[in-house]
Amino acid sequence: MTGLRAHVVRPDRGVDVTIEVAPGECVALIGPNGAGKSSVLEAVAGLLRHAGRVEISGVDVTTAPPHRRRVGLVAQRADLFPHLSVARNVAYGPRAAGVAGREARERAATALAAVEVADLAHRAPATLSGGQAQRVAVARALATDPAVLLLDEPTSALDVDARVSVRSALATAVVGRPALLVTHDPLEVVALAARVVVVDGGHVVESGPTAEVLGRPQTPFAAAFSGLVLTSGTADADGIALDGGGGLASSDRTVPPGRAAHAVYHPTAASVRRDGAGVPRRVLSVEPRDGLVRIRAGELVADVTVAVAARLGVRPGDEVRLEVPPEEVTVFPTAPTSPID
């Protein structure tokens, strides 16, 4: 028996995604906008009909309407019912399930306490901050004791402080029940998900344990998601011989020489010089990036300080040499099943 098994097909959007979530497991679904992540969530929730097969707790719910699927949905916006108090919002699910008023109120109180907003019970939704409202939305989903929890970018509309509290509420919520998390936030993935599935162009392009996907990404999206530069080549005695010419030495390599491999490094670890040792590449662009200057040269990227960038004075078209310390480079085998496009 699985927690969730879904095969979502939308021929009009070119979406064909199969996803499985074990009981009690939280799986993060990441990918560029328009990749089909929302289609998967909507299909599981029953809000998108005729879009493949969905099985929840071993029961085929493909033809069941949303109200019979026992899914808990927390979206980007809290979407609390504005005409009901916080307590009544959270009691809405139990009441809809036919639970008597007193019992429903108790369940609401329990759910509110679980995400540490019990003191908000009598407030009106309009008086809540974004983070408070989102935690109430989490409590509202929990109060129905859902068989699957669907989290659709649950913190992306919040400011940084609110994200922290909502993330901790979500960490409580995902314990013991299957959850599917769509997000653009790497921190959220690390905090909540045990496994990551990368969707791009309507298909699963990579999946695996969180540390594996984020630390040794096979796809450009997964690499960019965790802030790494991904490059490919062939393993050699020192590290990797890059497809684009030159090579990077690595002190973290497990690939027998001669095999196709990927290498990742963090762009701030790379240094750029006009000449001397290093991988020769032609500069494609120079752009500001979080207080640094991002230099793209060939398929490689280096983030350097403004002072260094000014001293180098590089412009697109210039020839430069990039170097990355071996201890910053990880070389790992290319997964045979998920090649880079």
- Structure tokens that stand for 307 in this block: 């002072």
Q: Which stretch binds another protein (CB under 8 A): 64-72, 115-123, 126-134, 248-256?
A: 64-72
Let me know if 175 is exposed, middle or buried by CB neighbors in 10 A (0-12, 13-18, 19+).
exposed
Decide if residue 67 touches another protein (CB under 8 A).
Answer: yes
Q: Based on CB atoms, which residue is closest to another protein, 140 or 177?
A: 140
Q: Based on CB atoms, which residue is closest to another protein, 125 or 267?
A: 125
Judged by CB under 8 A, the residue of 34, 63, 96, 243 near another protein is 96
For residues 299 and 209, give the distance between their C-alpha atoms in angstroms, rounded to a whole number. 26
CB of 63 to another protein, least distance (A): 15
Q: Based on CB atoms, which residue is closest to another protein, 155 or 250?
A: 155
- Structure tokens that stand for 185 in this block: 């936030």
Binding residues among 284-323 for another protein as defined by CB under 8 A: none
- Structure tokens that stand for 226 in this block: 């965790």
Closest CA to 184 of 143, 227, 149, 150: 227
Decide if residue 46 touches another protein (CB under 8 A).
Answer: yes
Q: Based on CB atoms, which residue is closest to another protein, 92 or 332?
A: 92
CB of 169 to another protein, least distance (A): 17
Say how many residues touch another protein, by CB under 8 A: 25
The CA dihedral of 159, 160, 164, 165, to the nearest 10 degrees, is -30
Judged by CB under 8 A, the residue of 105, 140, 163, 216 near another protein is 140
Q: Is 208 left (phi over 0), alpha (psi -120 to 50) or beta?
A: left
Judged by CB under 8 A, the residue of 21, 71, 205, 240 near another protein is 71
Q: By the 8 A CB rule, do 262 and 269 touch?
A: no
Decide if residue 72 touches another protein (CB under 8 A).
Answer: yes
Judged by CB under 8 A, the residue of 38, 39, 134, 144 near another protein is 144
Q: Based on CB atoms, which residue is closest to another protein, 83 or 282?
A: 83
Please list the helix, strand and coil fractions of the chain in percent, rounded to the nearest 5, in that order: 30, 30, 40
Instruction: DSSP for 166-198, please give it.
Output: HHHHHHHHTTTS-EEEE-S-HHHHHHH-SEEEE
Decide if residue 65 touches another protein (CB under 8 A).
Answer: yes
Q: Note the residues at the interface with another protein (CB under 8 A).
A: 45-47, 65-73, 75, 77, 79, 81, 83, 92-93, 96-97, 140-141, 144, 150
